[in-house]
Structure 1
Amino acid sequence: MTIHKEGYTSIALTVLVIFVINAVAHYFWSDHNWLIWLIYVVSFALFIIVLQFFRHPRRITSLNERQVICPADGKVVVIEETEEGEYFRDKRLQVSIFMSPINVHVNRNPVSGVVQYFKYHPGKYLVAWDPKSSTDNERTTVVVENKLGIPVLFRQIAGALARRIVWYVKEGDQVVQGEQFGFIKFGSRIDVFLPVGTPVNVNLGDVVKGGITVLATFE
């Protein structure tokens, strides 16, 4: 288990804030032992919460061209046919994963292949489970075509707390299934769009792991 590079600044700022708060508490309330200890406990809890959020566990993905691997840790909140209006402009099978603040927030490529399309969209910060978040929130859209010639669209979506989306891919890149393509801070969602009729290997409410769980299998 390591700490993700996106967490270095946030962790450093957290440590600075904790140091200042504790220094001020000692200066003004040094004779109130119960208050000092309460601040110690809250400070420790805050540090652990921020630290665990940026954890980066090592994951070994079994590469398979016919499988779509889960791009993030979280819970499956949507499995439905819907109209994808940005790239495909037709009916697609949507599978969505909601990431809570306690989940690992590394985002991983669901398939290997070439990035055919990438676009960043500024937007709102609706709660991630709101259906409109897929089209109205800050988000990125990535389309990767695998060796079978099947394009898979996946979308990072910011939530009410997530105010920064990070990505490491661009059009023309060759990406590998299970390797990280981005990161979202503090709770969010990822949508995956597949051809209609693709057999899905998960159910609504399932808890999934990025880089490990098989979302779907191409026939």
Structure 2
Amino acid sequence: MVSLKSTVIKPMHPEGRRFVAIFAAASLPLFLLWQPLGWIGVGLTVWCYYFFRDPERFPPDLPGHVFSAADGVVSAIDTAPPPPELDLGDVPLLRISVFMSVFDVHVNRMPVAAVVRRIAYRPGAFVSASLDKASEDNERSSLLLELPDGRKMIVTQIAGLVARRIVTFVGEGMSLEQGERFGLIRFGSRVDHYLPEGSRPVVRVGQRAVAGETPLANLEG
């Protein structure tokens, strides 16, 4: 039975605890200065908790599909060379981008069952993650994934206009299941999925995606 509590109150990822504590502590002196300011602080504290929420997700049984690594809106479906720091050449791959606003869940999940073969971090700018140039200019962390059949795909976490920290929970050589948590980006960002040759998109630009549950592409074409 689904309760109101379980519907409204979601578990918070441990990454958010100190931020919620900071917002809550800052609210106390604001009440002393002026009560309306204190209530604004309370509202921001609740928002911070909400930002770091980490609900359970359950990937549907759809063999051969790639699921979204992020909650948000499909902002682009195009082709682009893989991030150069992975040294994979410049042959364009199908790329599906999901933009996360500050109101979306920001815990990222594995789009496929795979082994993490390489993690490459690159510092950069903080332009709006909704812009095309964010994939090239912004701070990012790319995971090279090897699928069970040997094919490779890439998931790139990209910081946004407000985001200043990409957190990756996994390490090279780890074997992860589809839907398993692998990282988080703080305060507005984007995730790019670079897919193996022959993959076919099953989403459209503007469609909402849910991490670990929304299929983005069919690997079998």
* Cα distance between partner residues in 1 of 2:47 and 2:105: 12
Q: Match of 1:62? A: 60
Q: Answer yes or no: is 1:53 the counterpart of 2:57.
A: no
The CA deviation at 1:85 is: 4.6
User: For 1:115-168, what per-residue CA distance to the aligned partner results, in whole angstroms no more than 9, with x for missing partners?
Assistant: 111111111111102222112211101011111222110100000100011001
Compute the TM-score of the two structures, normalised by the length of structure 1: 0.90
Q: Is the 8 A contact 1:108 1:180 kept in 2?
A: yes
Q: 2:72 aligns with which of 68, 74, 85?
A: 74
Compute the TM-score of the two structures, normalised by the length of structure 2: 0.89
Query: Cα gap change, 1:152/1:64 in structure 2, threshold over 3 Å: closer, same or farther?
Result: farther
User: For 1:38-94, what per-residue CA distance to the aligned partner results, in whole angstroms no more than 9, with x for missing partners?
Assistant: 334423321221111011111112365511010010000010122225233211001
* Cα distance between partner residues in 1 of 2:159 and 2:49: 20
User: For 1:15-56, what per-residue CA distance to the aligned partner results, in whole angstroms no more than 9, with x for missing partners?
Assistant: 01001111233xxxxxxxxxx3x3344233212211110111
Please give the secondary structure, in 2, of the residue aligned with 1:84. Answer: coil
* Cα distance between partner residues in 2 of 1:143 and 1:47: 36
Please give the secondary structure, in 2, of the residue aligned with 1:95. Answer: strand
Tell which structure's C-alpha radius of gyration is larger: 1
Alignment of 1:184-199 (within 5 A): 184-199=185-200
Please give the secondary structure, in 1, of the residue aligned with 2:200. Answer: coil
Unmatched segments (≥5 aa) in structure 1: 26-35
Q: Is the 8 A contact 2:203 2:217 kept in 1?
A: yes
User: Paired residues, what number?
Assistant: 208
Please give the secondary structure, in 2, of the residue aligned with 1:56. Answer: coil
Unmatched segments (≥5 aa) in structure 2: 1-9
Alignment of 1:1-219 (within 5 A): 1-25=10-34, 36=35, 38-62=36-60, 65-86=63-84, 87=86, 88-89=88-89, 90-219=91-220
* Cα distance between partner residues in 1 of 2:56 and 2:83: 35
Q: Is the 8 A contact 1:65 1:112 kept in 2?
A: no
Q: Match of 1:32? A: none
* Cα distance between partner residues in 2 of 1:189 and 1:207: 13
